[in-house]
Amino acid sequence: MPTDADLSRLPRQVRAELRSLSADAAEFVSAHLVAAGDLIDDDPALALRHAQAAKRRGARLPLVREAVAETAYAAEDFAVALTEYRALRRLTGDSAYLPVMADCERALGRPEEALRLVREAKLVEMTQRSRVELVIIEAGSREDLGQAKEGLRVLRSFLGHLSKEVPHEAHARLAYAYAAMLLRHDQPEEAREWFAIADELDTARELDAVDQIELLDGIDLEFDFEDEDEDEDVERQSEAVEGVEGEGVEAEGVEGEVAEAEVAEAEAPEAADEGDDETPDDATAPAPETQQDRTKDDRAAGE
C-alpha cells in the first residue's frame, strides 16, 4: 500500500462512499486510488495496477470500478476497460458510458459492435460533449468498415447542425476528426481548412492541428538525426583512412632511412679494406723510439 498518499485529497463524495468499507479496507483502497490518480497521465500502466489493487478490497464500489476502467483506457488496455465500463453500467444504470464502450469495441477491432452501441446510445439522453464523441466514434467505425464516404457524411451532417451549446473543445475535436478523415482520403485542401478551424477552437491546445497545417504547407521542422549520424560516421571513417595513410607515408620514410643506413654500413668495411691494401711511402722507416727504449739508453749512459 502506498504510504505517502494524501487521503484528504479525495473528493468528499468519494470518502463518503468509502465509509461502507471497514476502516482498514477504506484506508487501503483510498491510498491506491490517490496513487492511481497521480500516475494516470505520466504512467497509466502503473496507475492501472494501483486501481486494480484497490479493486481487490472494494470491487462493489462504482468509484473503484470507474478508476480501473479509466486507468485501463488510458493504458490502452481496452479489453479490461470495456469489462469495467460494462460493470459500471450494470452497477449504476448510467448510459453515459456507452460512447466510451463503443470506442473500446472499435479499438478491439469490432466496428460492428461499436455501431450497435452507438445506435443504442442515440436512444438515451446525453450531454452535448458525449454526443460529439459518439459521432466521432460512429464515423470512425464506418471508415473501419470501408465506408469512408458515409463516415465523412456523418461528420459533415453533424457539423452542419451543431448546437451552440457544444463546448469549444468538443467542437474542436469534431472539426479535427473531420479534417483528419478528409486528409486520409486525399482531400488535403479541405482538410487544411478544417484543421485551421480546429486550431482556432482549441484554446486549451490539446490537439496538434498546427502541426498538421505545417505538414500540409510543406514545412517540416523535424531534424533527421539519422542522416546526421551517417555523416558523422563517414567523417570518422575518412579521418581514420587519412590517419592510416599518414602512418603509411611515415613508415615509408622510416624504412627509407633504415635502408640508407644499411647501405652506408655495408660500404664502410669495403673502404677500410681498400685502405689496408695501399702501402705508404714511409713504410720502411724505423719505428719511433718508445719511452722504454729511452729509459734503457739513459741507464746505459749512466754506466
List, for residues 162-210, the tens digit of each pLDDT value.
888 899 999 999 999 999 999 999 999 999 999 999 999 999 999 999 9
- pLDDT category at 12 given cuts 50, 70, 90 is confident
Q: How confident is the model at residue 294 (pLDDT cuts 50, 70, 90)?
A: very low
Write down the pLDDT at residue 211.
95
| CA 115 to each of CA 112, 120, 160, 240, 278: distance values in angstroms, whole numbers, following the listed order | 5, 9, 22, 63, 121
DSSP string spanning the chain?
--SS--GGGS-HHHHHHHTTS-HHHHHHHHHHHHHHHHHTTT-HHHHHHHHHHHHHHHTT-HHHHHHHHHHHHHTT-HHHHHHHHHHHHHHH--GGGHHHHHHHHHHTT-HHHHHHHHHHHTTS---HHHHHHHHHHHHHHHHHTT-HHHHHHHHHHHHHT--TTS-HHHHHHHHHHHHHHHHHTT-HHHHHHHHHHHHHH-TT--S-HHHHHHHHTT------HHHHHHHHHHHHHHHHHHHHHHHHHHHHHHHHHHHHHHHHHHHHHHHHHHHHH---TTTTSPPPPPHHHHHHHHHHHH-
212-215 long-range contacts, Cβ below 8 Å, gap at least 24?
212/179, 212/180, 212/183
User: Who has greater pLDDT, 218 or 282?
Assistant: 218
Question: Radius of gyration over alpha carbons of the chain, in Å?
Answer: 46
Q: For 241-261, what is the mean pLDDT?
A: 52
Average pLDDT over residues 56-66: 94
Average pLDDT over residues 80-90: 96
d(CA 46, CA 36): 7
Which amino acid appears at position 301 of this protein? A
Is it the case that residue 63 has pLDDT exceeding 50? Answer: yes
Domain ranges of the chain: 1-72
Going by C-alpha positions, the residue among 58, 68, 69, 65 that lies closest to residue 29 is 58
8 A C-beta contact, residue 175 and residue 198: yes
Residue 53 is placed in which grid cell?
A: 489493487
